[in-house]
Structure 1
């Protein structure tokens, strides 16, 4: 028997006193024998496809045999969602501080070693329970007991992170500017990447740069390493350390496609089926060629000149060294110079995303590509 509820969570206040709120949908099951899940979307204002995916998940989960609790939060950042400039949504950066909305989560590395020492001889289950409590308490303290206050972005991020810390699996739904689908996956969870219906995966190490996925897996990975240094071995992704977090990139920003969103939702259910969160064996991963690279090999190519760009590199397809990624039109050179300039690389790559506009300045990020890629 599944219990479905909706709450409205206040994450801040505007100058007028109006509340900033986000909807929180929760499926609770009496079984509760499997990992719990937290899924959020639209932390960046223009990245709206995740909301459509959450809608499709809400529809599909009504008919699933749930084994674990699932929390879903669309419209996670109400400030970014409403940050418009003409017909465009901005919403990648806090307009007050200039900071990336997805770089404001919290992780304090200094708590890891003392905790491991304190609970060196505790059971694995007690360690997991106490550590989860510590992570939530840290967030509560930053929200309620910071005498200097916190920024709007931090207040939103910390309240979302508090929900995420209560889950075993975290999916943060994003999109790129003009982009193919791709997945950010912690290295220890490589096997899980094959259950998403996503052809391209970036494996990330245990390094915290402020993002939601890192804020929820780095503490546990760091704790596992601290215990290893003390002579006690736990395996990330197993037992009480069964914690997995992913950033799921769903394509391009500023648009939704409900039919594609349903396919994306089916891919997520395939992953949840593999983790035992649902017991519905019809949700299985599609057969496809999956490529991956490590984060250090996910490279940005910056425009060598200003101009108007014709993007040539096809997303998701290997591009041979020397083949053009783009051509740049320079009408100011027509008649007394070269009007067309081709941009290529000296190694094989897979184009993943490119800048949203054809008009670029010198130094604009043109493409992001996989280098040194391999098949999963």
Structure 2
């Protein structure tokens, strides 16, 4: 049975002086094996990831562990407790209005000076030195920022410091009302098939503040900087392998422990493939897998206000002209058309939709894969 150690990480203070804390669970592996960092619940309403971490801890207790495993549920204690009536808000910092998952840090200007210093060094030395540099850059932000940090930055940077210590990073999220899907760096497409998730968004090397980008963009940029000098440094090789994913586990504001067990087994597939664990008990499910480049992941905004009956089935190709939804306008009953069918003139795969049936004109109604492909 593996020993699971629990720490409590202080990530901030409330006005009363009470500490904001985050639980951190660690399982120690070998120093020469790849490691993983997994966190959940950065957005307050996206709670299914906590159930998945519970199930992972249960499964990992009696699994052969090769590399260090760090798991962090309740990653954002402010977002978790940000309630309005019966609803959890917690997607945006209520003080600054910034998305909690857009506060991580990456300064691309550190890449080229680092590369110049590393010419002639071996790949293991480069890898170790770059990991150390990224951790130091976060600690510099945490400890020597003369103008201080927002609450969200202080939380995000401390989580990111943990993530930079790992080879693989999984950030567990959910959508409003959503199918399961995966945000995957373009270079890691092959790894997507080891998750039991049928829909994969392939994202470029563009940093926009999210944790997955903050932990794979530096390595991708490092690889590109070496390539400009004609030096091979591959981050998808057997010796240097760095990947980060945002794992979307379905819909917000609910947990299902039985589904969470299946999600945990899906993650175990990936960890087994990456040699973080050794087991023969997990195999990816056979399924049709669809991919879509991030530029073709489209938001569809409601053309009118009203009450929406969402019709399109998640995850299934929807032919051009088939209805996504119908909108009820009772103000038109008796002297107009109370029902309006909404469709697109191209085939898409609906991935998620707005959580409420009540929408204003211009509300983001659906997100869909366009220009999708099988892989």
TM bucket normalised to smaller: over 0.9
Any idea what the Cα deviations from partners look like across 1:154-201, whole Å, max 9, x if unmatched? 000000000000000000000000000000000110110000000100
Per the alignment, residue 333 of structure 1 pairs with 332
Q: Structure 1 CA distance, aligned partners of 2:4 and 2:365?
A: 44
Per the alignment, residue 310 of structure 2 pairs with 311
Determine whether 1:17 maps to 2:1: no
Per the alignment, residue 219 of structure 1 pairs with 218
Q: Structure 2 CA distance, aligned partners of 1:79 and 1:26?
A: 23
1:333 CA drift (Å): 1.0
Task: Report the secondary structure of 1:195's partner residue.
Answer: coil
Per the alignment, residue 28 of structure 1 pairs with 28
Q: Would you say the 8 A contact 2:3–2:61 is kept in 1?
A: no
Q: Structure 2 CA distance, aligned partners of 1:144 and 1:40?
A: 23
1:91 CA drift (Å): 0.1
Q: Would you say the 8 A contact 1:104–1:154 is kept in 2?
A: yes
Q: Structure 2 CA distance, aligned partners of 1:113 and 1:73?
A: 32
1:240 CA drift (Å): 4.9
The change in CA–CA distance for 1:258 and 1:68 in structure 2 (over 3 A counts) is same
Aligned pair count reads 375
Q: Structure 2 CA distance, aligned partners of 1:227 and 1:331?
A: 62
Q: Would you say the 8 A contact 2:2–2:60 is kept in 1?
A: no
Task: Report the secondary structure of 2:21's partner residue.
Answer: strand
Any idea what the Cα deviations from partners look like across 1:247-276, whole Å, max 9, x if unmatched? 000000000000000000000000101111
Task: Report the secondary structure of 1:325's partner residue.
Answer: strand
Per the alignment, residue 136 of structure 2 pairs with 137
Per the alignment, residue 174 of structure 1 pairs with 173
Q: Which runs of 5+ in 2 are unaligned?
A: none
Per the alignment, residue 189 of structure 1 pairs with 188
Per the alignment, residue 350 of structure 1 pairs with 349
Q: Which aligned runs of 4 or more in structure 1 are off by greater than 6 angstroms? A: none
RMSD value, Cα: 0.9
1:239 CA drift (Å): 4.3
Q: Structure 2 CA distance, aligned partners of 1:375 and 1:19?
A: 48
Q: Structure 2 CA distance, aligned partners of 1:312 and 1:33?
A: 51
Q: Structure 1 CA distance, aligned partners of 2:122 and 2:2?
A: 31
1:83 CA drift (Å): 0.1
Q: Give the alignment of 1:143-162 within 5 angstroms.
A: 143-162=142-161
1:51 CA drift (Å): 0.1
TM-score (normalised: structure 2): 0.99
Determine whether 1:263 maps to 2:262: yes
Task: Report the secondary structure of 1:305's partner residue.
Answer: coil
Determine whether 1:113 maps to 2:112: yes
Task: Report the secondary structure of 1:296's partner residue.
Answer: helix
1:282 CA drift (Å): 1.3
Q: Would you say the 8 A contact 2:37–2:69 is kept in 1?
A: yes
